[in-house]
Structure 1
Amino acid sequence: MFDQKKVKELVLTSLVTDAYCLGTHWVYDEKQLKDSSINYNELNKPLSIWHKDKVAGEFTHYGDQTFWLYEFLKDKEEFNAEDFLSYWTQKMKSYNGYIDGASRNTLENIENGVTPSGSSSTDLSIVGRIAPLLKVSKSKEEFLRNVESFVKLTHNSTKAINASSFFSKLLLKALDGIALEEAILSLKDESDAVIQKHIENAFASKQKETISIIREFGPACDIDQGFASSLHLLLKYDNLKEMLIVNAKAGGDSSARAMIASIIFMANNSILQIPKNWLAIKVTLD
């Protein structure tokens, strides 16, 4: 159903985006974001203590978990949620990166026999990890089902399910070559009131300065903070590098916003928009 070359490009885009965001991810202090050790034209080692053992070219835990999904699916014809959960659990047992609340609570539920075991997290980041699922989805409908199954494994909240559904449908429309403004508006009527408000806020912010608007919407992890900012990035920019640099300078949960925006942006743009020096990530996609 989906062009496999394009799918690999989208996965690569999400990983490069996360590696690029590592430098200022979860940094909220404006003075620290202007630290001279950060070169916004390059991949950087992290300023944040949460990623202190990482080096330039590595990922936040978002990118790590996206790569796990890609590796899991490499020899698969379909997405089996139970099998992936077992695979993910084993990976987490030896993981030395940051274990966020959604992952920690899911692992605790598994340990305690709680079913379904997915946490109730409303973090936005899970939405940016969906690109590998295109590889094994034979139709748009199957992709949407796979996304929901995947999201529920660690982020089993109505807010996370609804947000992932919206952005998955937007990604599909972008892959069909539909202009983003038209695509976003076409999804508005079928969205709930909360998402409709995020859409309205994003359109109202289109001409505003990005760093200020991200701070206004909220730079932290929750969907209510990052949803409209992710749409703002898509509505305002037609250059991937410029979009990602400005987003990174806003700090906070920069990777969650950027991974979503970048895969949708890249759906109908050339992979050549990724700067060559940003491709120096620490993994290769077979």
Structure 2
Amino acid sequence: MSQIKEAITLSFLADSLALGGHWIYDQEVLKKHSWEHLQAPLIKDFHPHKQAGELTHYGDQTLVLLQSLAEKKEFDLQDFALKWQNLFLDYSDYIDHATRISLDNFKLGWGPEDSGSMMNDLAGAARIFPLFLLYARDLEVLEKAAQAQTAMTHKHEQVVEASSFLSRVAHLDLPADQVLLKLGQTCHIDEAFPATLYLLLKFFTTPKQGLIANVLGGGDSAARGLILGFFFGLTPKGKELLSLWLPEFKLAATLKSLLDQF
């Protein structure tokens, strides 16, 4: 199984694991249960008919996107919209507010480009990952498809932007230097922040390679480096880099003197 297929599989499994405690806000209640295995919802308010090992309504919608992609071998917004509507023709589980609004808009004759609600739920953007099966190496097409599938139910600007952000940050199959070229190398937050998170996610277990990749990525590597260095420094392998670079650091004594005051 490829890395992308494994990641998509785990994404669905994570949704299924979340089913058991979905929309329970009392953490003390959740702590009374073991979450080593998939289980049925602890409360039946939202998922009255779901059983252990099934998906939430978010996972169900994501599976519909995967089914559309598998059949069409491309992202077809019209086909996804039709299959998505068919999912809810006789749906016995919870239907969230954004979905209800979008379904009503479809009934009014609106197309999938305009049907989305103005709800700011993350769920609309969370569906995007099956798109990586077809567009992992074409960030521009991936991002447009992610935005389109998101806006079909959630056209709130922040949710659509989140789908774009997730597309870029999760674009892990390309070499880091190519990804940074696409994300942007400048100091501006709309480029630098996604680039930094990308490097953090990709190299979290190999911080030395991550910090070197940051430099090789070019542009404002210093701002990115300050952030990456801190988070990598919290990991065991990150701490190993202290012995490598501290002897070469001209301000080591000054830094130590200041840190010793705390």
1:102 to 98, 104, 115: 98
Aligned to 1:126: 124
1:44 to 34, 39, 54: 39
Contact 1:105 1:119 in 2 (8 A): yes
Summarize deviations over 1:9-47 as a string: whole Å, max 9, x none. 222111001011111111001332223xx2221112111
Q: How many residues align?
A: 192
Q: TM-score, normalised by structure 1?
A: 0.59
From the CA coordinates, give the structure whose radius of gyration is larger. Answer: 2
Identity of aligned pairs, percent? 32
Aligned to 2:173: 175
* Aligned-residue offset at 1:150: 0.6
* Aligned-residue offset at 1:113: 2.5
Summarize deviations over 1:64-108 as a string: whole Å, max 9, x none. 111111112112231111121011111111222211111100001
Equivalent residues in 2 for 1:6-155, closer than 5 Å = 6-35=3-32, 38-48=33-43, 49-114=45-110, 116-137=114-135, 139-155=138-154
Letter in 2 for 1:47: L
Q: TM-score, normalised by structure 2?
A: 0.64
Contact 1:147 1:165 in 2 (8 A): yes
Instruction: Find the aligned partners of 1:20 and 1:184 in 2 and give their Cα distance.
Output: 32
Other structure's SS at 1:11 match: helix
Instruction: Find the aligned partners of 1:19 and 1:11 in 2 and give their Cα distance.
Output: 13
Instruction: Find the aligned partners of 1:156 and 1:28 in 2 and give their Cα distance.
Output: 27
* Structure 2: stretches of 5+ with no match in the other structure: 198-230, 236-262
Aligned to 1:161: 160
Letter in 1 for 2:10: T
RMSD value over aligned CA atoms?
3.1
Instruction: Find the aligned partners of 1:142 and 1:31 in 2 and give their Cα distance.
Output: 44
Instruction: Considering Cα pairs closer than 8 Å and 6+ residues apart, tell me whether 1 or 2 has the greater RCO.
Output: 1
